[in-house]
Structure 1
Amino acid sequence: MSSLLSDPRIRLGACVLAIAVVGGLAVVTNPKQPNVEPQAAQAPTRSIVNRTALACPAPAAGGKQTSVVSGVAPALPAGTPVAKGDEAPLSISPLATTADPLGSLLVRGKIGSSPAATKPQVLSIRGTGPLAAGAVGTSTAIATSGVNSGMASAPCQLPGSDFWFVGGSTAPDRRDVLTLTNLDSINAAVNVTIYSNKGRLDVPSARGLVIPARSTYELFLDQVARSQKDLALHIVSTGGRVAPALRDYATKADKTPAGVDWIGPTIAPSTKVFVPAAAPGPGQRKLVMANPSDLQATISLTVNGPNGPFKPAGLETVRLPAGAVSTIDLTKVLHGDASGISLVSDQPVTASLRMIDKSGSDFASISATEGLTGPAYLVLPAHQQPAILQVTAPGKASSVKIDLRDAAGKSLQSRAVDVIAGSTTQIAFKAQSAPTYLTVEQTRGTVVAGVTLMPDPKSDDTPQVAAWPLSTSLVFRAQLGAQPDVRAALR
């Protein structure tokens, strides 16, 4: 050994090796801190998706209502890689393996729908082949009276293992139900952690829930967390995958129905949170925030309005106790303007916004979402009032390209839109008697976006309030490894 070390070349190699080892350990033990500031999105990572499985929720039976699921395999940007093979149809069908399809997506760019049903049921959009890439769907139910009055509409959900919801309640004027759909052929096991304005609740009966294969399980929140004004839920699957949705019923003081809708999943708690698309017009706007951490959160709140960002007087800084959920009324702050909400916190938080029409007869919620890093697709149901796309640039000036197409794939409205730094820009889409689909592609900067539907306060029709967030298509989401993780859609 001593003779080897006496060789200068050997000693030099050993030194180089030692430096490399130390350097490697430094990389592992001293990683760079993540940058949570908004950044201009880079060119999206494109993944080949050749299977899809989406769960489309449905309200409970009651009153005179119709429900429909519409889906599309959207037109993709030129050069987007897709799976090889024939364009086998994607089916819109009930959960049972023996059920016949109720509708199909036959051709890319053309919308397919299930027949309007008076007895709603959870449906799925599933299939393999080239049409799976980018496929999206929306479940919509409309009732003119009864407990389901108004419009309840939500995007079909990709199954997963970890979800957050903010904005639930078991107050006397609310009746909320968590639905857990298992599209797979094996059972799933789920734990639900519940937070309230009093902190994290001890709810053993919400843990170890078993959701049988190809079925939907309902957890009535008032049975596990009675008389809680504000709630946040953390759903974690310990085996299998689920697609959760939070069905929300509201009543007025005289016990008459005040609408039903879905509270969508929000992003995981973060120190930077963006809630898009506060609908313009009259009515209440309530921000619900959750702090699941063990420390009090100090939150800086910014409104991204049409004329730029501002700090609302008296609400520039909000303190949220550890483990707590709280609501802030932003009705007067927003002045009826289309707006986004930016939250910067010293502890990870998440949020959603509840929007109620002027008459108090219908409502919708929209949850915090991530900035777009590639094209986002959304199927819009038929609507009697103009729908409003709202694009917010929470940081620097940004731009997007939008394209609205009819059921046959014909472009109805296409344009490029610049968004001033810190502001929200709105684009109106005319009322449509049939479903359409929207593409929003971020081209510069960081943007968050959503579409809202708020009725004309002068109309005598049954109010139809809805909100749909926009998120980057799975085809363009950055993957954690060399291969895309699409296991949620493979079972």
Structure 2
Amino acid sequence: MSSLLSDPRIRLGACVLAMAVVGGLAVVTHPKQPTVDPQAAAKSPARSVVNRTALACPALSQGGKQASVVNGVAPVLPEGTPTATGNATPLSIIALASTADPIGSLLVRGKIASSTAATKPETLSIRGTGPLAAGAVGTSTTTAATGVNSGMASAPCQLPGSDFWFVGASTAPGRRDVLTLTNLDSVNAAVNVTIYSNKGQLELPSARGLVIPARSTYELFLDQVARSQKDLALHVESTGGRVAPALRDYASKADQTPAGVDWIGPAAPPATKVYVPGSAPGKGQRTLVLVNPTDLQATIRLTVNGPNGPFKPAALETVRLPAGAVMAVKLEAVLNGDPSGVSLESDQPVTASLRMTDKDNSDFASIGAAETLTGPAYLVLPAHKQEALLQVTAPGTKPASVKIDLRDAAGKSLLSRAVDVVAGSTTKIPFKAATGPTYLTVEQTRSSVVAAVTLMPAAKPGDDDTPEVAAWPLNTSLVFRAQLGAQPDVRAALR
């Protein structure tokens, strides 16, 4: 026996056999190799209920007599939707300073909270932890009868992130655009802003390496970094920390009288299929602005999703956009005053926004390309003196349907119904004027949809009416956060 064990080959075989026995036990006691590749994990991500929220609610600059308010809500979620455990701690509407006191509180689900109307605009936030955080949304709105801030400027409060696109800015005569970067966190953030024009990507070192101090807002005046550029697109990337950007846009007429102020909303990231919802009905300018950030020319096929179905506008069915360039396309003649959406198919990733004015060119609104809904979407609407219009577009080849629910500030349902949308078309659902804030739920139930709410002045406004032009996109609510699907490696406990 000893002579056998003296043979190295026999000893090696014995070791292998012993390892095999241990390995046989491992079949029962040891889990499979964990997934550590992020790309593989992303294919089947786990979901974690949101239990913390922080939203930045932008504000205009000082200018004339105005009233600014932030409305927020923790909406009623679909039945069976899980929320974080623990007590329903209120969410606060609060200024950025760490020592600030709340100026509004979201106390229970389904009831809207509002800040006190302020004459001096200030960037606010909606923040807090606990069960009320899931799905929380807000809207910042400023109205003024006269001055540089005349009209209505309203935008959803923005969730901080690290990558954003804005399309439709300008530094041409009659425009004054300002990129605001809000940092809600307690550490500084660093940001690079890449700017594209009709001449291609601009080399602008002064727009890179921007430092946004903790709990503050930084303003980048575009005419100081890219003068006399008619159409611009911005790519905002955080290289450290998170920011919540917003693009403030002032317009004036040839005689320098104000022509409104509003926010240019974020656009969906560049893709080969892009959907722009919410072209409001009525007269006025409708300008589609496109950007191609790639190194190759893009061939874009344009389809209008009107109330009677899809059509390709004559002479605009195909648009060729040079590499790195921005282009504006006038659409008012082909839209014919109908509520519509616009679908784009491109051989290169592109994105877009739509700018619309009232018939007198006294106020305007912009809306960026949106991603199709994959779950419930919530939107807080400020008080409005005119009829608002929900526009739901089914951009694909299949009919779609949604469930909508409009509630008042106390949570009472004002309108609840199911809506079918013909394939390729846009369906409109009007909402009556409201003296107080309301909130809307849109839940996609069949096929793909994009949606937005638009507001335009009455056909025959009163002498004292302030023009109200606005457009709010509907985006899938943040109720869950995706988590990497990596499994814990428990082998260390067995060693």
- TM norm. shorter chain > 0.5: yes
2:477 aligns with one of 469, 473, 478: 473
Distance 1:446 1:480 in 2: 25
Deviation at 1:46, TM superposition (A): 6.1
Contact persistence 2:46–2:485 (CA under 8 A): no
Deviation at 1:476, TM superposition (A): 5.2
Partner of 2:109: 108
Residues 247-258 of structure 1 mapped to structure 2, 5 A cutoff: 247-258=248-259
Distance 1:194 1:92 in 2: 33
Partner of 1:193: 194
Contact persistence 2:50–2:480 (CA under 8 A): no
Partner of 2:406: 404
Kindly tell me: are residues 124 and 469 of structure 1, through their superposed partners in 2, closer, same or farther at Cα, counting changes over 3 Å? Answer: same
Letter in 2 for 1:310: F
Partner of 1:445: 447
Letter in 1 for 2:423: A
Distance 1:421 1:77 in 2: 26
Partner of 1:393: 394
Letter in 2 for 1:385: Q
Distance 1:314 1:458 in 2: 34
Size of the alignment, in residue pairs? 451
Deviation at 1:457, TM superposition (A): 3.4
Contact persistence 1:110–1:409 (CA under 8 A): yes
Partner of 2:428: 426
Kindly tell me: are residues 321 and 412 of structure 1, through their superposed partners in 2, closer, same or farther at Cα, counting changes over 3 Å? Answer: same
For structure 1, the residue ranges without an aligned partner over 5 or more in a row are 4-9, 11-27, 35-43, 484-491
Partner of 1:280: 281
Residues 451-490 of structure 1 mapped to structure 2, 5 A cutoff: 451-460=453-462, 461-475=465-479, 479=482, 481-482=484-485
Partner of 2:134: 133
- Listed one character per residue, the Cα deviations across residues 305-327 of structure 1 (whole Å, up to 9, x for unaligned) are 00000000000100001000010
Kindly tell me: are residues 406 and 295 of structure 1, through their superposed partners in 2, closer, same or farther at Cα, counting changes over 3 Å? Answer: same
Kindly tell me: are residues 46 and 421 of structure 1, through their superposed partners in 2, closer, same or farther at Cα, counting changes over 3 Å? Answer: farther
Partner of 1:224: 225
Deviation at 1:482, TM superposition (A): 3.7
Distance 1:177 1:351 in 2: 19
Distance 1:353 1:482 in 2: 38
Distance 1:174 1:193 in 2: 20
SS in 2 for 1:474: coil
Contact persistence 1:47–1:81 (CA under 8 A): no
- Listed one character per residue, the Cα deviations across residues 152-210 of structure 1 (whole Å, up to 9, x for unaligned) are 00000000000000000000110000000000000000000000011000000000000
Partner of 2:184: 183
Residues 51-450 of structure 1 mapped to structure 2, 5 A cutoff: 51-395=52-396, 396-450=398-452
Letter in 2 for 1:435: P
Distance 2:381 2:278 in 1: 15
Distance 2:284 2:345 in 1: 26
Deviation at 1:475, TM superposition (A): 1.2
Aligned CA RMSD, in angstroms, stands at 2.1
Deviation at 1:362, TM superposition (A): 0.3
Runs of 4+ in 1 over 3 A off after TM superposition: 44-47
Distance 1:338 1:47 in 2: 38
For structure 2, the residue ranges without an aligned partner over 5 or more in a row are 1-7, 11-16, 18-36, 487-495
Distance 1:65 1:275 in 2: 31
- Listed one character per residue, the Cα deviations across residues 409-464 of structure 1 (whole Å, up to 9, x for unaligned) are 00000000000000000000000000000000000000000000011132132211
Residues 23-38 of structure 1 mapped to structure 2, 5 A cutoff: none
Distance 2:483 2:55 in 1: 22
Task: Decide which structure has the larger Cα Rg and report it.
Answer: 2
- Percent identical among aligned pairs is 78
Partner of 2:23: none
- Listed one character per residue, the Cα deviations across residues 94-120 of structure 1 (whole Å, up to 9, x for unaligned) are 000001111000011000000000001
Partner of 1:41: none
- Listed one character per residue, the Cα deviations across residues 357-411 of structure 1 (whole Å, up to 9, x for unaligned) are 0010000000000000100000000000011000000011000000000000000
Contact persistence 1:373–1:476 (CA under 8 A): no
Kindly tell me: are residues 2 and 445 of structure 1, through their superposed partners in 2, closer, same or farther at Cα, counting changes over 3 Å? Answer: farther
Distance 1:73 1:262 in 2: 23
SS in 2 for 1:91: strand
